[in-house]
Homo-oligomer: A and B are copies of this chain.
Amino acid sequence: AMAVYTEVADADLLSFMSAYPLGQVLSVKGIAEGVENTNYLVHMEAGPFILTLYEKRVKRHDLPFFLGLMEHLSGKGLTCPTPIHDSAGSVLRELAGRPAAVMSFLEGMWPKRPSVAHCRAVGEALARFHLAASDYGIERPNALSVMDWRPLMQPVADRAEREWPGIMAEVTTDLDALEARWPDALPTGVVHADLFPDNVFFLGDRLSGIIDFYFACNDMLAYDLAICLNAWCFEPDLSFNVTKSQALVSGYQSVRPLTTNETLVMPLLAQGAAMRFLATRLVDWINYPPNAFVKPHDPIAYLKRLRFHRQSQGPGDYGITS
């Protein structure tokens, strides 16, 4: 169960939509997904579109980077939502006091139980994304990189420790190691940085598109793959499925082969990726109001992933043969 955050008056919505060359509005349904933004599925005479109102978690000054990226990727043939230009040429406008944009609608469903075939397909798509974004002209630094994780967790450390005794000592040891050993000479570019199953649509086994570029930034390309290892290759019981990771990585390499250094450092990058999601989920968990409608993810699932990566013996544990 999810929520629509912002209710828009019909008159405002019709007036807003009339600025696009899409014909008349036929219907508008608030859709119950996406916990960060408000999304409406709008049937226009020209077809279905998504109207997104950006809530406070997405920074207004980052929107030109995100919207420009989606348009750049669509132009390169990647299937992802593309922002629609209004008659004056704008893609970023305002509605109900919020930044707002209209996107092409992508058919497809995200895989609730990712298969090996899904993992291979997402690996290929991630590499295609990296290549397609390689000549994107705008940069956005990663605001959630290795030096950000410690200060992010610091304000909630006491309460986290009370909830899960011992967690902060364990995390501190990992942070020390990650900060000391984090690589700085790997290939970089635009990364998606949040390519979880709910951001990848499939029609049957065919990947039909990638959505939600609102964490995209410049970072090491291999780190993006390490995020996917965390997001796609653990089973519901949090055991690691090496068949899936092998498929994910080989799918990636079929489009963009990893360098030897990227391969060797993959366990450390995966450990860092687990720490990045542990950090934000810990903060969300501690700060979430007891009566919040959308319950945050359990952060401990990422502590367990982090432990797996910490004890790994090398790329072979991920099915990566260099």
Contacts and interface: CB of A to CB of B under 8 A. Distances in A.
Interface of A: 1-5, 7, 9-11, 24-33, 41, 43, 48, 105-109, 111-113, 201, 203-204, 291, 293
Contacts of A28: 109
19 contacts: A1-B4, A2-B4, A2-B32, A3-B32, A3-B293, A9-B112, A10-B111, A11-B113, A24-B204, A27-B106, A27-B108, A27-B109, A28-B109, A29-B29, A29-B33, A30-B31, A32-B32, A41-B41, A48-B48
B33 A30 contact: yes
Given A1-B3, A27-B107, A32-B32, 18 more contacts: A1-B4, A2-B4, A2-B32, A3-B32, A10-B109, A11-B112, A11-B113, A24-B204, A26-B108, A27-B105, A27-B109, A28-B109, A29-B31, A29-B33, A31-B31, A43-B107, A48-B48, A291-B291
B10 A1 contact: no
B1 A5 contact: yes
Contacts of A27: 105-109, 201
